[in-house]
Amino acid sequence: MKKLEAIIKPFKLNEVKQALHDIGVLGMTVTEVKGCGRQKGHTEIYRGSEYTVDFLPKVKIEMALPDHLVEQVVETIEKAAVTGKIGDGKIFIWTIDDAIRLRTGEHGDQAV
Amino acid sequence: MKKLEAIIKPFKLNEVKQALHDIGVLGMTVTEVKGCGRQKGHTEIYRGSEYTVDFLPKVKIEMALPDHLVEQVVETIEKAAVTGKIGDGKIFIWTIDDAIRLRTGEHGDQAV
Amino acid sequence: MKKLEAIIKPFKLNEVKQALHDIGVLGMTVTEVKGCGRQKGHTEIYRGSEYTVDFLPKVKIEMALPDHLVEQVVETIEKAAVTGKIGDGKIFIWTIDDAIRLRTGEHGDQAV
Amino acid sequence: MQNRRARLGRSYNRFWLLAAGMFFSGLAVADSSVTPPVNAAAAAINPGDNAWLLASAALVLMMTAPGLILFYGGLVRSKNVLGTMMHSLILMALMSLIWMVYGYSVAFGEGNAFFGNPLQYFMLNHVGGAPNPDYAPTVPQQSFMLFQMMFAIITPALISGAIAERMKFKAYVLFVVLWTTVVYLPLCHMVWGKGGLFNWAAGGKVPVLDFAGGTVVHISSGVSALVCALVLGKRLGYPHEPMPPHNVVLSLIGTGLLWVGWFGFNAGSALNAGALATSAFAATHFSAAAAALSWAGMEWLLKGRPSVLGAASGMVAGLATITPASGFVTVPAAFMIGLAAGGVCYLAVTKLKAAWNYDDSLDVFGVHGVGSITGMLLLGFLANPAVNPAIADTFEADGRAVSLAGGVHQFLNQLAGVAFTIALSAAATFVLLRVVRGATGSLRVAEEEESLGLDLTQHGEKAYND
Amino acid sequence: MQNRRARLGRSYNRFWLLAAGMFFSGLAVADSSVTPPVNAAAAAINPGDNAWLLASAALVLMMTAPGLILFYGGLVRSKNVLGTMMHSLILMALMSLIWMVYGYSVAFGEGNAFFGNPLQYFMLNHVGGAPNPDYAPTVPQQSFMLFQMMFAIITPALISGAIAERMKFKAYVLFVVLWTTVVYLPLCHMVWGKGGLFNWAAGGKVPVLDFAGGTVVHISSGVSALVCALVLGKRLGYPHEPMPPHNVVLSLIGTGLLWVGWFGFNAGSALNAGALATSAFAATHFSAAAAALSWAGMEWLLKGRPSVLGAASGMVAGLATITPASGFVTVPAAFMIGLAAGGVCYLAVTKLKAAWNYDDSLDVFGVHGVGSITGMLLLGFLANPAVNPAIADTFEADGRAVSLAGGVHQFLNQLAGVAFTIALSAAATFVLLRVVRGATGSLRVAEEEESLGLDLTQHGEKAYND
Amino acid sequence: MQNRRARLGRSYNRFWLLAAGMFFSGLAVADSSVTPPVNAAAAAINPGDNAWLLASAALVLMMTAPGLILFYGGLVRSKNVLGTMMHSLILMALMSLIWMVYGYSVAFGEGNAFFGNPLQYFMLNHVGGAPNPDYAPTVPQQSFMLFQMMFAIITPALISGAIAERMKFKAYVLFVVLWTTVVYLPLCHMVWGKGGLFNWAAGGKVPVLDFAGGTVVHISSGVSALVCALVLGKRLGYPHEPMPPHNVVLSLIGTGLLWVGWFGFNAGSALNAGALATSAFAATHFSAAAAALSWAGMEWLLKGRPSVLGAASGMVAGLATITPASGFVTVPAAFMIGLAAGGVCYLAVTKLKAAWNYDDSLDVFGVHGVGSITGMLLLGFLANPAVNPAIADTFEADGRAVSLAGGVHQFLNQLAGVAFTIALSAAATFVLLRVVRGATGSLRVAEEEESLGLDLTQHGEKAYND
Ligand SMILES: Nc1ncnc2c1ncn2[C@@H]1O[C@H](COP(=O)(O)OP(=O)(O)O)[C@@H](O)[C@H]1O
Ligand SMILES: Nc1ncnc2c1ncn2[C@@H]1O[C@H](COP(=O)(O)OP(=O)(O)O)[C@@H](O)[C@H]1O
Ligand SMILES: Nc1ncnc2c1ncn2[C@@H]1O[C@H](COP(=O)(O)OP(=O)(O)O)[C@@H](O)[C@H]1O
């Protein structure tokens, strides 16, 4: 089993979710995060105090997936999330030992 | 060492935390997240605009654990978090290379 | 490739970010979390109802890194984040299979 | 509060609920011809008094919204904030309807000792520009009607704090409509209506002093709140699960607006802009100030730190407590009443609630009920003819002159009024809740709904989004 | 609204924009000598009336801030809340400047049927402590000027709800300055200014009843808002992307303050603290109450649940709808107007907007435009000389006495006023937007800026931080 | 602000702090007999004037809460919002207590040129329904007392902006009690009290014009704030760590309420509802408008974008600046003063603060201090007898008639008043802070507490929960 974590621009969340639903992937967990990278931040001024803000709002989508779905999911996210501008985000993938559905106690691929 | 990540219903957080304390597990990190899965969302209406909201509030608990504790922790969470209704959540487990306590610089099982 | 996750005290975020920038690490994703551990919580009272709050505000920094950078990054974070008081936080490290930059489709070390 | 020359009104025994049935026909007939020209009695109207009464009416409405909706809304959990605010907002609509159709008439029409004739001012007929000398001789009766309506709006709104976070909206609406009809309007007539049982200025058998609503507003709502809390039972998870206020800032804004609005509530109750209005304004202010000191002071002593919500709660307690006394006491006496209010209400909220083990979510009983009982009784001793000469020399029904100055005699009168109000409110609320439960199936939302929150399940909304 | 004795004013044809050019010279000369001593006419001033008018002016400013900024600010997404609030705040500054230099003079100076002489009160010269008997004989003209200024501030602020979340700030500023000059000030003169075309009390050819601004304030802004929404186009992502209000609590606080402030708006329009003020106060209140019931009631019937934002929207709709009628109708009639308001505006916002497929972000047209058109027309039938004797017996320009009591005749007058207001507002807004686009390059911010939000891109700020 | 007939009061030298010791005995004796009947002088009372003064008193309290608590609360970080709001809230209690016991008496009792007799109105004895013709002949003295109390509440509250986010609560409480006693009350007596050194209307040696509190309220608090900021030192992390306002929306709501409330502050200072009140209302409004334009305009020019907080800061600066001048200048002059206010305060906050390198957290000095100094001095040139005839012809102590119309002569008087206020405030604050540090161990909370926030460590609460 794999864990896949995608960091995307917030306003792309709905599109990505819809695209994943369309290929039958329903389960995911989403977190509001702030990202720092090559994308330039901005300046805010409050009564003369200028702050450079490097952290930009991003959304993190986490999914546990059976191995065979990973490639398709990556492609789907790529298609839905890309704007072509800097700051589009990343996907990270790693292997997990197990997944458990709390309600039923099911393990592994059954659980996600 | 293992990393364990549990997604549960928010109002179960206190119970789960208490149950974990009772078996001597004190360290954990908690994030407010939104989840999407089989549990049905709801509809909101604002001045005639209807929105279907698929993302439901969930809580994510993360813990780094020595290998021998994993089974017991999983059971404890299962007991405390289950309501039996759809949407109870998941546990994901994977292996980590190392853990470090910043204050002391300790590594591995000592650090968690 | 490695994934590194650091849980630190919120007011240390800027210092840590700066220190990482100084060694050339620009990309990171930050989440506001709440932590529970050995650090003691506090008591709040609202109209006579006393609540013991165990969860303290922390900040989680996530980074995907090429293997060779891990050690230097850990040291940098240790230096910048430590106050020496209980509750300074942890670092967890694990191996990831792949990283992808959405904008370009690059994989692996190129992507981070 | 009232004109001093009094006669017992004739008693109308026709059952006044039939008035409600006439609503729609009323809409048609009451339109134009029946309302007397607003300028008819302009000669008697003092613009200064009317300006103050209109401003006061606006201030009292501001107490409900945004005052009370902020104060209460901030204290609940974020999933229930809209539902809690709706409890008050909907009363601005519902109570106005009732007031127009039969409410004002039952409260202030001539009637017997318990209620007024619901037909006299049915659809606010005959309530126009001419003053009603029985109540306020220098302003249009319509101004008096508007000012009093604002009281009828906020009183049931206060109760909503006790049932917050768990009552079904439909059941709530039915309950407040019945409660207003059965408890508020009669009580208002008894205390302030011409010929009312407790109306010291207009021939009541038991002359109870209540300047701006200790019995009518705060004890009635506070005691009914307690009964509601007991009948509905505790919120899911109470008291184990922490339920801290979701936004104390909202409650503090509400506190400020309540204090400011209360100047209209109490000083407006003088019904003119003379020295008595000023005196009531002063008493109101100093009681609030004192109660903030004593509540926060007790916390500082007992818990080591004064809390901000504690200071704010003290302010509201001081305001509720001085309400009945505001037109009858000196500034130092008001300050003392405020000191007592902060202490007593703090103990009610922290100790009594724990001892009796009920879940009055936002402490309506502990603050408004206990506070105003304290105020009513202290007033029995502190009422001062030097402040309000009208009580120096009042008349009983048999024509005998009596003074209502503070002392044991007046204390017993106050006690009678308080006891009656408690009994009526508690009994009626208990019965009405059973009626409502019968009519709506259950008083509370389902457990799942309660855990999702009222905003989503009762109203289909969430307060906070991106 | 106006003194009844009327003469057609002389017509000034000098192009009044030249007045603006004289601003800085005016600053120098207008300083002291030209303003008459404020106490000169103190004898004629009634302090009660003046107290009420000043309080009302303060209440109307409170409607803009914090009332409207809260109501609107809560309804947008969090990235645009400051920009949205700024749309109203900046008008408190800009409109005051215009009002001082030439605005009051164009609106209330003597002139022709369409606008007043911009030089008569240039730099508020001659607007001092002495009453202007044409408008308000018992208060300083300066009080009248201040009260009317608050209307000039809130009217363009209402429009901003339609262009929220996408208009360039520079373009917005230019637009509201032009719009006020070309639409608001002339309309104000026509309806309320001495000799204005629609001024029923002062010799207008078409006697249109509009007590507190159905045409001048709500229809003008509502219709202009619709045109703005159509010309600017939809927000990025609308209607696919969810755009729920970011903080309904803010909007509810705003609703409460709007209701309270509207007492100043409508009852203050009596320009004294007599019985007519009370009557307008009452009509205002009951319409708001009724509209909340009908809007929330329709949701309950059609959607199974009454929403809190729906009840609040109904309140605002009821207030906008009764505005023109508030000084002319009985309480039951006001209640009926309110019931209609809630129903009609609900349908406008839910059905009409969907059918016509425009993005009026905060429903300015559906609530203010549609509401006040409804109110103006219903008033044609319900205007009641028993409430406001002044309309029983007015004079046409030829000296013939006519009554403006409700009926087909007056309905047609109202219809004419409404139609003219719609035509002027729509046409002028359409043209002015083209002018502004020409001057500022584009009306909207760039797509990237829109997705980042106005707060950051137009003002360099974020509303919410740690 | 004052009755024109003046005599130098007799000087009382008994040390007035002993009055405080008599508090509890006072509570007992002052109860009833000593307060004159409130209706005694009803004949002289004008209900219109009293209505306006009571409304104004309510508006000024609204400036403190919810106005200032919102404005300040929004500007701090979320961990300190309750503590910051408490700084103002607790003054509503504490200052009222002081005012009742000896404050009013020291400020407005007859005394010498520096303070009044603390025993004259001890426990507000003799402050009842009868007017005090020395101050306000048409309203109960109690109304005047209430109105002035609201000023005593907000003045130290302003200072709290400078010590926000780091001062120990206990030290704060002690400081404001001492500061009020040593700085505010004497200054109030000197400028407005009968026989006060600077009282132009009542025999002051140096006739300083200060209509509503440029010296007494804004310069005193602004300068003391600067000294506090310097003595306390910077917040941890300032200026490296970003400390943006946690909720600008709160500050904007506060701005709206401050503007509205300021009408009570300035126009209420006329102490009646006549033309002078209207004139002060107008000056207040136009100055705020102008300052918003100039502050936001400077940002637009210098930084490329006008900020919303900038516009709001300009409004507050315009209001603080016009305060002393509001009863003495024409509308165009007020507008010019506002333009100056926005520019000067913008520079003070952005350049001067950086240059002098202090951490006045919420810019009390830059906005209130610098603003009101500007206003006091400009007033020296712009004071206009056509606006306020009372200054055309005043009397010096030797009976010689002088005019206080704008010019070099009056400018020098203004300068003297400003200089004295700066010197007294700075010196006293410096000394008092040492006293307080001695008494409470330290002025600041511990570093760990500062980083956890005042809400949790000083009050055991958090503002925002689920
Ligand atoms: N090494 C990294 N580890 C974790 N998150 C990263 C890393 N680099 C970038 N990110 C996340 O991805 C987001 C986008 O990255 P950025 O470098 O700005 O643009 P791009 O994805 O186009 O290269 C960042 O805001 C951050 O949240
Ligand atoms: N594949 C997945 N990867 C990550 N999180 C998931 C996944 N599936 C479900 N979740 C999380 O678990 C929560 C519960 O899942 P759901 O399918 O609704 O019910 P159940 O756990 O009872 O099967 C979801 O809201 C989501 O947060
Ligand atoms: N086993 C764990 N798994 C995940 N997070 C942990 C664990 N132990 C501690 N943490 C996180 O680290 C933070 C600091 O831990 P704590 O035990 O309080 O102090 P210290 O890091 O000094 O030992 C906690 O608040 C929590 O967020």
Whether residue E154 contacts residue E138, with contact meaning beta carbons closer than 8 Å, is answered with no
CA-B30 nearest atom, ligand 3 = 27
Q: Is there a contact between F27 and D332 if contact means CB atoms under 8 Å apart?
A: yes
CA-B63 nearest atom, ligand 3 = 3
Pocket of ligand 1, candidates A8, A12, A39: which has the most ligand atoms within 8 Å of its Cβ, to mutate? A39
Q: Which of B35, B36, B90 sits opposite A102 (nearest CB)?
A: B90
Residues on chain F touching A46 (C-beta within 8 angstroms): 244-245, 307, 309
What local confidence, expressed as pLDDT, does residue E11 receive? 31
- Nearest residue to E60 (alpha-carbon basis) of E135, E129, E158, E141: E158
Mean model confidence pLDDT for chain C: 95
Q: How far is the CA of F20 from the centre of ligand 2 (A)?
A: 67
Distance CA F47, CA F49 (A): 5
Whether residue D447 contacts residue D236, with contact meaning beta carbons closer than 8 Å, is answered with yes
Distance CA E271, CA E57 (A): 10
Whether residue B60 contacts residue B69, with contact meaning beta carbons closer than 8 Å, is answered with no
**Ligand 2 touching residue B87 (CB < 6 A):** yes
Count of alpha carbons within 13 angstroms of residue B91, beta-carbon side: 27
Distance CA D256, CA C77 (A): 46
Question: How much of chain F, in percent, has pLDDT values that exceed 90?
Answer: 87
Confidence of residue D398 (pLDDT cuts 50, 70, 90): low
Pocket of ligand 3, candidates C9, C31, C36: which has the most ligand atoms within 8 Å of its Cβ, to mutate? C36
Whether residue E380 contacts residue E419, with contact meaning beta carbons closer than 8 Å, is answered with no
Q: Please give, rounded to a whole number of angstroms, the shortest distance from the CA of F241 to a CA of chain C.
A: 8
Distance CA C87, CA C36 (A): 9
Q: How far is the CA of C90 from the centre of ligand 3 (A)?
A: 6
Q: Which two tokens stand for residue E315?
A: 């309140």
Q: Which two tokens stand for residue A50?
A: 């200028």
Counting as contact any 3 or more CB pairs under 8 A, the partners of F are A, C, D, E
Question: What 3-state class would DSSP assign to F134?
Answer: coil
Distance CA F359, CA F25 (A): 44
**Ligand 1 touching residue A56 (CB < 6 A):** yes
CA-C102 nearest atom, ligand 1 = 21
For domain F49-459, is the CATH number 3.30.70.930? Answer: no
- Nearest residue to F190 (alpha-carbon basis) of F177, F167, F208, F174: F208
CB atoms within 10 A of CB C21: 13
CA-A103 nearest atom, ligand 2 = 22
What local confidence, expressed as pLDDT, does residue E393 receive? 78
Burial class, E309, CB count within 10 angstroms (exposed 0-12 / middle 13-18 / buried 19+):
buried
Question: What 3-state class would DSSP assign to D8?
Answer: coil
Distance CA E344, CA D236 (A): 41
Distance CA F158, CA E26 (A): 36
Q: How far is the CA of E113 from the centre of ligand 1 (A)?
A: 65
Q: Cα-flanking dihedrals φ and ψ of residue F458, to 5°?
A: -95, -25
Closest chain C CA to residue D311: C47
Q: Is there a contact between E461 and A11 if contact means CB atoms under 8 Å apart?
A: no
Q: How far is the CA of A88 from the centre of ligand 1 (A)?
A: 8
pLDDT tens column, D87-135:
999 999 999 999 999 999 999 999 999 999 999 999 999 999 999 999 9
Whether residue E97 contacts residue F293, with contact meaning beta carbons closer than 8 Å, is answered with yes
- Nearest residue to F4 (alpha-carbon basis) of F108, F107, F132, F135: F135
CA-C29 nearest atom, ligand 1 = 27
Chosen from B102, B109, B112 to mutate, greatest number of chain C CBs within 10 A: B102
Q: Does B99 touch chain C (CB under 8 A)?
A: yes
Whether residue E250 contacts residue D54, with contact meaning beta carbons closer than 8 Å, is answered with no
Q: Is there a contact between F387 and E32 if contact means CB atoms under 8 Å apart?
A: yes
CA-C62 nearest atom, ligand 1 = 4
Distance CA E140, CA D194 (A): 40
Distance CA F313, CA D151 (A): 38
Residue nearest to atom 25 of ligand 3 (CA): C35
Residue nearest to atom 27 of ligand 3 (CA): C35
The CA-based angle E266-E269-E272, given to 5 degrees, is: 120
Confidence of residue E396 (pLDDT cuts 50, 70, 90): low
Residue nearest to atom 8 of ligand 2 (CA): A27
* ipTM exceeding the 0.90 mark: yes
Lowest mean pLDDT across B55-64, D43-52, F113-122, F340-349: D43-52
Whether residue D369 contacts residue D324, with contact meaning beta carbons closer than 8 Å, is answered with no
Closest chain D CA to residue F464: D247
What local confidence, expressed as pLDDT, does residue E397 receive? 57
Nearest ligand to the CA of B64 is 3
Question: What 3-state class would DSSP assign to D307?
Answer: coil
Nearest ligand to the CA of C8 is 3
- Nearest residue to F294 (alpha-carbon basis) of F343, F361, F254, F243: F343
Q: Please give, rounded to a whole number of angstroms, the shortest distance from the CA of B103 to a CA of chain A.
A: 25
What local confidence, expressed as pLDDT, does residue D203 receive? 75
Whether residue A77 contacts residue A8, with contact meaning beta carbons closer than 8 Å, is answered with yes
**Ligand 1 touching residue C20 (CB < 6 A):** no
Distance CA F449, CA F166 (A): 9
Confidence of residue B30 (pLDDT cuts 50, 70, 90): very high
Q: Which two tokens stand for residue F363?
A: 């810019």
Q: Is there a contact between E460 and A43 if contact means CB atoms under 8 Å apart?
A: yes
Give just the sign of the alpha carbon dihedral C18, C20, C24, C29.
Answer: negative
What local confidence, expressed as pLDDT, does residue C64 receive? 97
How large is the average pLDDT for residues B81-87?
93
- Written as one letter, the residue type at E199 is N
Q: Please give, rounded to a whole number of angstroms, the shortest distance from the CA of D339 to a CA of chain F.
A: 11
Q: Does E249 touch chain B (CB under 8 A)?
A: no
What is the distance, to the nearest Å, from the Cα of residue F411 to the centroid of all Cα atoms in its chain?
22
Burial class, B77, CB count within 10 angstroms (exposed 0-12 / middle 13-18 / buried 19+):
buried
User: What is chain C's pLDDT, residue by residue, as a tens digit (112 residues)?
Assistant: 999 999 999 989 999 999 999 999 999 999 999 999 999 999 999 999 999 999 999 999 999 999 999 999 999 999 999 999 999 999 999 999 999 999 999 999 999 8
pLDDT tens column, D126-173:
999 999 999 999 999 999 999 999 999 999 999 999 999 999 999 999
Distance CA B64, CA B94 (A): 10
- Nearest residue to D411 (alpha-carbon basis) of D445, D461, D446, D376: D376
H/E run at residue A53: strand A49-53
Residues on chain D touching E272 (C-beta within 8 angstroms): 47
Q: Which of F237, F451, F460 sits opposite C44 (nearest CB)?
A: F460
Distance CA E316, CA E74 (A): 15
pTM over 0.90: yes
Q: Is there a contact between A51 and F242 if contact means CB atoms under 8 Å apart?
A: yes
Nearest ligand to the CA of B59 is 2
What local confidence, expressed as pLDDT, does residue E41 receive? 44
How large is the average pLDDT for residues F154-177?
98
Residues on chain B touching D451 (C-beta within 8 angstroms): 11
Distance CA D67, CA D455 (A): 20
Q: How far is the CA of A33 from the centre of ligand 1 (A)?
A: 11
Q: Which of A26, A31, A103 sits opposite B31 (nearest CB)?
A: A31
pLDDT tens column, E424-440:
999 999 999 999 999 99
Q: Which of B45, B51, B53 sits opposite E307 (nearest CB)?
A: B45
Distances (CA, A) of E19 to E24, E117, E142, E413: 10, 10, 20, 34
Distances (CA, A) of E143 to D54, E55, E56: 18, 10, 10
**Ligand 2 touching residue B91 (CB < 6 A):** no
CB atoms within 10 A of CB D151: 25
Q: Which of E51, E305, E312 sits opposite D460 (nearest CB)?
A: E305
Residue nearest to atom 5 of ligand 3 (CA): B28
Q: Which two tokens stand for residue F402?
A: 């002088």
SS3 content of chain D, % helix, strand, coil (to 5): 65, 5, 30
Mean model confidence pLDDT for chain D: 91
The stretches of F244-357 forming alpha helices (DSSP H) are: 248-267, 275-303, 308-322, 331-347, 353-356
Counting as contact any 3 or more CB pairs under 8 A, the partners of C are A, B, D, F
The yes-or-no verdict on residue B3 having pLDDT over 70 is yes
Cis peptide preceding F66, ω within 30 of 0 = yes
pLDDT tens column, A33-77:
999 999 999 999 999 999 999 999 999 999 999 999 999 999 999
Distance CA D228, CA D160 (A): 9
Q: Cα-flanking dihedrals φ and ψ of residue F271, to 5°?
A: 65, 10
Q: Which two tokens stand for residue F222?
A: 């602004």
H/E run at residue F136: none
Q: Which of F451, F460, F461 sits opposite C11 (nearest CB)?
A: F451
Q: Please give, rounded to a whole number of angstroms, the shortest distance from the CA of D248 to a CA of chain C.
A: 10
Residue nearest to atom 26 of ligand 1 (CA): A35
CA-C27 nearest atom, ligand 1 = 8
Residues of C engaging D, defined by a Cβ cutoff of 8 Å: 44-49, 51, 53
How large is the average pLDDT for residues E69-80?
98
Residues on chain C touching F461 (C-beta within 8 angstroms): 44-46
Nearest ligand to the CA of A38 is 1
pLDDT tens column, E190-237:
999 999 999 998 878 999 999 999 999 999 999 999 999 999 999 999
